[in-house]
Amino acid sequence: MTDFFNDLLFLFQRLTWLSVIDILLVTLIFFVLLYLLRDTQAMVLLRGILFLAVLVALLTSLVNLPAFSWLLRTTLPALLFAIPVIFAPEIRRTLERIGRAESLLPTQGRQRQEEIQNTVQIIVTAAARLAGRSHGALIVLQRLDNLEEYITTGVRMDSRLTPELLLQVFYPNTPLHDGAAIIVDGRLAAAACVMPLSSSGILNSSPERQMGLRHRAALGISETSDAVVVVVSEETGSISVAHAGRMIRHLDSERLTNILLAFYRPAHTPASLLRQIAPYFFRKEEES
């Protein structure tokens, strides 16, 4: 015990401000990586890799295994090259998020304030009426990332957006009912569009089982782009919003309006945006 305290004291005596900054930078990098990989299949793979690394370290340090140690030294370079291949989707998603960092900067000039509020009000009205009728809906709002590749999978409309139009699009058993409606610059660009399905574990860990393909598609497009997605459940009539790979559920009209204005209008600094949406995340957890 005395030797342990002496070694600890020796480490603290050699600690400098540069060493502290160095440790904080490494900690920050690991924190950002783990935060970006949360609720993804990569987190499961990462746990497996860490477990194997600890097991191998214990075997090579406690037991003399020359052949096993040689095998590890030989295969380690190949494993390092294999990591980018295994985590290719997560690396691509992380680089896309870094590239979309400018979306947090003020952009009042890109779209008129009145047009944004009008678009949000139309969507909120349509979502409330769809929820009251238990009609499922998937509405995608394009922001900075271009969604042309998904628009081409549906039926082009380029129509003036109204609540009645959205009600007609998502009326059950109509040709445009299945798929997503994509809104670009306050207009309905296309309907019946095919969205990528999410592979994250958010929906699998949810206590509710009413979330199906619509919710997976909403999370999927929010993971691959900066779009804001409104989902109306056909089974329960509940309204949800997906953005940046996260989902806020059980929303009423007032909360839906505030969240859409916060996400769809990127005119906030990161700190103010976090303060604005934090109560909705906490309220969501209490209701779940």
Count Cα neighbours of 12 within 13 Å in the Cβ-side half-sphere: 6
Helices (H), 134-241: 148-151, 163-169, 213-224
pLDDT band at 283 (very low <50, low <70, confident <90, very high): very low
Residue 106, in any domain of the structure:
no
Point out the domain boundary residue: 99, 134, 163: 99
Helices (H), 152-269: 163-169, 213-224, 253-264
Point out the domain boundary residue: 66, 99, 132: 99
pLDDT value of position 169:
95
Residue 264, in any domain of the structure:
yes
- Same domain? For 118 and 95 the reply is no
Residue 107, in any domain of the structure:
no
**pLDDT higher than threshold 80 for residue 232:** yes
- Same domain? For 123 and 233 the reply is yes
- Same domain? For 50 and 180 the reply is no
CATH number for the domain spanning 244: value is: 3.40.1700.10
- Same domain? For 230 and 158 the reply is yes
Lowest mean pLDDT among 44-48, 135-139, 143-147, 268-272: 268-272
Site of tokens 């089982």 = 209
Residue 105, in any domain of the structure:
no
How far CA 85 is from CA of 89, 120, 234, in Å, comes to: 9, 40, 38
Close Cβ partners of 45 (under 8 Å, ≥ 6 residues apart): 86, 87
Which pLDDT tens digit goes with each residue over 240-265?
Answer: 999 988 889 899 999 999 999 988 86
**pLDDT higher than threshold 50 for residue 76:** yes
- Same domain? For 94 and 138 the reply is no
- Same domain? For 242 and 149 the reply is yes
- Same domain? For 117 and 33 the reply is no
Overall number of domains in the chain: 2
Point out the domain boundary residue: 99, 128, 152: 99
Which pLDDT tens digit goes with each residue over 106-148?
Answer: 444 444 678 888 999 999 999 999 999 999 999 999 988 889 9
What 3-state DSSP class applies to 141?
A: strand
**pLDDT higher than threshold 50 for residue 277:** no
- Same domain? For 93 and 133 the reply is no
Q: Which residue has the higher pLDDT, 276 or 47?
A: 47
- Same domain? For 134 and 221 the reply is yes
In this structure, the number of other CB atoms found within 10 A of the CB of residue 214 comes to 22
* Count of residues making up the chain: 288
- Same domain? For 40 and 95 the reply is yes
pLDDT value of position 53:
75
- Same domain? For 159 and 44 the reply is no
Domain hosting residue 59, numbered range: 2-99
pTM: 0.62
**pLDDT higher than threshold 50 for residue 271:** no
pLDDT value of position 207:
52
**pLDDT higher than threshold 80 for residue 204:** no
| Cα–Cα distance, 168 to 82 (Å, whole number) | 49
Q: Which residue has the higher pLDDT, 238 or 54?
A: 238
Element (H, E) at 239: strand 239-243
Residue 204, in any domain of the structure:
yes
Lowest mean pLDDT among 37-51, 119-133, 226-240: 37-51
Residue 104, in any domain of the structure:
no
- Same domain? For 133 and 180 the reply is yes
Residue 45, in any domain of the structure:
yes
Residue 85, in any domain of the structure:
yes
Q: What percent of the chain has pLDDT over 90?
A: 32
